[in-house]
Amino acid sequence: MPKTTKRTATKRAARIAKAHATELPTVEPKVAQQSQQRRTPKQQAPARGIARYPWAITMSILIIAAGVALLYFNHVGPFAPPAKQASNAKKAPAVATLAPDVKAKATTVVASMPADHKQAFTSSNCLKSGILSKITDTSAAPSSADKDKIKHSYDKAPAMTINQKTTYCVGINTNRGLIVLELMPQWAPETVNNFVYLAQNKFYDGLTFHRVMKDAGNLQIAQGGDPKGDGTGGPGYTLPDETGKNGDYTAGTISMARSDKVSGSQFFLNTGDNSTGLKGQNFNTFGWVVKGMDVALALQGPSDSNKNITSDVMNHVLVVPAS
């Protein structure tokens, strides 16, 4: 270690003494610095962040707008349509519009009916909301493909299964609207039992009104129930004569068609009073219309004089007991 001379030691001591004698610089408080940097009321704050770049703001807005437009026009994200819920319900078939004069004519026809039938248009149990909801429920109506699978041929008439002490309500849901029938077992139990059986097995679904007569002399009918659609078909059996209401073919009643014997499936709606035109003939009358007389009057189909009219269709026929 080198020796320290006296002179060097003296200089060092002087430097140390000078350092101790020098005052440290004064540091102003931070608050004071901030007060000196305060802006006057007319001064604006300096731009910070993305605000320092106006072009970037414009570009961001354009990009966001373009993204929202893509989502909207492609129906995705928040603009996606609501998911369709699975449902077994089928779309109800379209119903044709009735001519303006049909309702007025129906009102006149109903007014001309016997008192008990006229009263049924307001008092029938078949008009209760619970019954109507059942006979207008077309959710189980067969598709076009299913209609080809419906059984239309039987070896014999069905066994008696109905309650002969109650009436039965029928909803004939046609392409022109709803016709509600009240079937009377006390008039013709075998006929009512047969109609109920066929309707419950969807026999009538998809069949047409193959013969419609309007103002043809004394005959006004709308006839249907033939699986062949030309008046020659049936279910493979016939029904016995039932005389409980035979001879009563007033407007709004429903009767079974026949050739030599009573048809097992073909029926006709008396759309006018046919008591004179069908006098003396044994057509089993087994019920009457209690709602939709205007629809019955509007039905279209080929007639004896015009074979080129398109037949209206029974889309779905439903039947339930009235109580």
Run of H or E residues at 103: helix 100-111
Q: Where are the chain's structural domains?
A: 100-136+168-322
Give residue-wise pLDDT tens across range 278-303: 988 889 999 999 999 999 999 999 99
Q: Does the pLDDT of residue 214 top 60, yes or no?
A: yes
Structure token digits, residue 36:
């000196």
Give the closest residue to 185 by CA, choosing from 201, 196, 173.
196
Percentage of the chain beyond pLDDT 90 is: 59
CB 182 within 8 A of CB 195: no
Name the region of 51 (left: φ>0; alpha: ψ -120 to 50; beta: rest). alpha
Give residue-wise pLDDT tens across range 222-253: 999 999 999 999 999 999 999 777 668 999 99
Q: Does the pLDDT of residue 89 top 50, yes or no?
A: no
Query: What is the mean pLDDT of the segment spanning 263-273?
Result: 96
- Of residues 45 and 185, the one with the higher pLDDT is 185
pLDDT of residue 228: 95
Query: What is the mean pLDDT of the segment spanning 133-154?
Result: 94
Amino acid at 133: S
Percentage of the chain beyond pLDDT 70 is: 80
pLDDT of residue 215: 75
Strand, helix or coil for residue 288: strand
Torsion (CA) 168, 242, 210, 277 in degrees, nearest 10: -120
pLDDT of residue 86: 45
pLDDT of residue 26: 63
Between CA 323 and CA 320 the distance in angstroms is 8
pLDDT of residue 14: 73
CB-based contacts of 313: which residues, under 8 Å, 6+ apart? 174, 175, 206, 207, 208, 209
Homologous superfamily (CATH) of 100-136+168-322 is: Cyclophilin-like (2.40.100.10)
Q: Does the pLDDT of residue 88 top 60, yes or no?
A: no
